[in-house]
Chain A
Amino acid sequence: MPAVRMSAVTAAGIAVAVTAVTGCAEKADADAAGSNAVTVISTDSKCEVSKTTFAAGKITISAQNKGSKVTEVYVYTPSDKIVTERENIGPGTKATITAEIKAGSYEIACKPGMKGDGIRQKITVTGKGAVKTDPRLDAAVAAYRKWVQAEADATIPLVKKFAASIEAGDIEAAKAEFAPSRVGWERTEPVAESFGDIDPLTDTRADGLDPGQKWTGWHRLEKSLWQDKKITATDKTLAAQLVTDLEDWQKRVGKAEITATSMANGAKELLDEVATGKVTGEEDRYSHTDLSDFYANVEGAEKAYELLKTVAAENDPALVTELDKQFASIKKLLDTYRKGDGWVSYDTVDKTQQKKLSDAVNSLAEPLSKLAAAVAK
Chain B
Amino acid sequence: MSEATSRRAVLGWTGAGVVLGAAAAGGAVTVLKGDTGSDTQNAASAGAAVEFHGTHQAGIVTPVQDRLHFASFDITTDDRDELVQLLKDWTAAAERMSKGQAVGEGAVGGLAEAPPDDTGEALGLQPSRLTLTVGFGPGLFDKDGKDRFGLKKYRPEALVDLPKFAGDALDTRRSGGDLCVQACADDPQVAVHAIRNLARIGFGKVAIRWSQLGFGKTSSTTPEAQTPRNLMGFKDGTHNVAGSDKSAQTKHVWVSDSDGPDWLAGGSYLVARRIRMHIETWDRTSLGEQEQIFGRTKGEGAPLGKKHERDTPNFKAMKDDAHVRLAHPDNSGVTILRRGYSFTDGTDGLGRLEAGLFFLAYMRDVRSGFIPLQKRLSATDALNEYIQHVGSAVYAVPPGVVKSGDWWGRALFEAAAAAAAAAAEGK
Taken together as a complex, chains A and B put the C-alpha atoms of A359 and B204 apart, in Å, by 8
Q: Given that A359-B76, A363-B76 are contacting pairs, would A372 and B114 also be in contact in the complex, using a CB cutoff of 8 Å?
A: yes
Asked whether, in the complex, the Cβ of A373 is within 8 Å of the Cβ of B203, the reply is no
CB <8 Å contact, A359 and B207: yes
- Which residues of A have CB within 8 Å of B200? 366
A61 to chain B, nearest CB (A): 35
Report if B349 contacts A (CB, 8 A). no
Partner of A322, one of B113, B114, B115, B204: B204
Asked if B422 is at the interface of the complex by the 8 Å CB criterion, the answer is: no
Is the CB–CB distance between B204 and A363 below 8 Å? Answer: yes
* B interface SS class: loop
Q: Give chain B residues whose Cβ lies under 8 Å from the Cβ of A369.
A: 114-115
Q: Is the CB of B113 within 8 A of A372?
A: yes
Q: B203 is contacted by which of A261, A264, A363 (Cβ under 8 Å)?
A: A363
Would A261 and B113 count as touching, CB distance under 8 A?
yes
At the interface, yes or no: B111 with Cβ under 8 Å from chain A? yes
| Consensus secondary structure, chain A interface | helix
- From the candidates A366, A372, A373, name the one contacting B204 in the complex (CB within 8 A): A366
A157 at the interface (CB under 8 A from B): no
Let me know if A149 is at the binding interface, CB within 8 A.
no
Residue from B113, B115, B204, B207 in contact with A376 in the complex, judged by beta carbons closer than 8 Å: B113
Which B residues from 172 to 204 make CB contacts under 8 A with A? 200, 203-204
For the complex formed, measure the closest distance between the CB of A363 and the CB atoms of chain B, giving whole angstroms: 4
**Per-position 1/0 for B92-128, Cβ under 8 A of A:** 0000000000000000000101110000000000000
Residues of A within 8 Å of B115, CB to CB, are: 369-370
Once the chains bind, are A373 and B76 in contact (CB under 8 Å)? Answer: no
User: Could you say which residues of chain B place their CB within 8 Å of the CB of A216?
Assistant: none
Is A367 an interface residue, CB under 8 A from the partner? yes
Chain B residues, CB < 8 A from A88: none
CB distance from B172 to the nearest CB of A (A): 10
Check if A362 sits within 8 Å of B113, measured CB to CB.
no
Q: Is A366 a contact of B114 with CB atoms below 8 Å?
A: no
List residues of chain B with CB within 8 A of the CB of A264: 113
Residue of A nearest to B79 (CB): A325
Is A287's CB within 8 Å of the partner chain B? Answer: no
Interchain nearest-CB distance for B354 vs A (Å): 19
**B: interface residue count bin:** under 10
Most buried by B among A264, A359, A372: A359
A261-307 residues at the B interface, CB under 8 angstroms: 261, 264
Inter-subunit contact A373/B207 (CB<8 Å): no
A377 to B113: give the CA distance in the assembly, Å.
Answer: 9
Closest to B206 in A: A359
- In contact, A366 and B111 (Cβ under 8 angstroms): no
Interface centre among B76, B111, B203, B204 (most CB of A within 10 A): B204
Contact flags B194-224 to A (C-beta < 8 A → 1, else 0): 0000001001100100000000000000000
Interchain CB contact under 8 A, B113 and A326: no
Q: Which residue of A lies closest to B207 (CB)?
A: A359
Inter-chain contact B204/A326, CB cutoff 8 Å: yes
Are B114 and A370 closer than 8 Å at their CB atoms?
A: yes
Query: A261, A365, A372 — which one has the most chain B CB atoms within 10 A of its CB?
Result: A372
Q: Which residues of A contact B203 (CB under 8 A)?
A: 362-363, 365-366
In the assembly, what is the distance between CA of A372 and CA of B114, in Å?
7
Cβ of A372: which chain B residues have Cβ within 8 Å of it? 113-114
Q: Which A residue's beta carbon lies closest to that of B114?
A: A373
Q: Give the distance in Å from the alpha carbon of A252 to the alpha carbon of B114 in the complex.
A: 29
- Report A318 CB to chain B, min CB distance, Å: 11
Which chain B residues lie closer than 8 Å to A373 at the CB level?
A: 111, 113-114
Q: Which residue of A is nearest B74, CB measured?
A: A359
Expressed in whole angstroms, the Cα–Cα distance for A365 and B76 within the complex equals 15
Task: Name the residue on B nearest A369 (C-beta).
Answer: B115
In the complex, which residue of chain A has the Cβ closest to the Cβ of B76? A359
| Residues of chain B within 8 A of A367, CB atoms compared | 204
Distance (Å) between the CB of A117 and the closest chain B CB?
31
A362 touches B114 (CB 8 A): no
- A sample of 18 inter-chain contacts (CB < 8 A) reads A264-B113, A355-B207, A359-B76, A362-B203, A363-B76, A363-B204, A363-B207, A364-B204, A365-B203, A366-B203, A369-B115, A370-B115, A372-B113, A372-B114, A373-B113, A373-B114, A376-B111, A377-B111
Chain A to chain B: the 6 pairs with minimum beta-carbon distance, closest first: A373-B114, A363-B204, A366-B203, A376-B113, A359-B207, A372-B113
The residues of B with any CB-CB pair to A shorter than 8 Å are: 76, 111, 113-115, 200, 203-204, 207
Known contacts A369-B114, A377-B111, then 6 further A-B pairs from the complex at CB < 8 Å, ordered by chain A residue? A322-B204, A363-B207, A366-B200, A366-B203, A370-B114, A376-B113
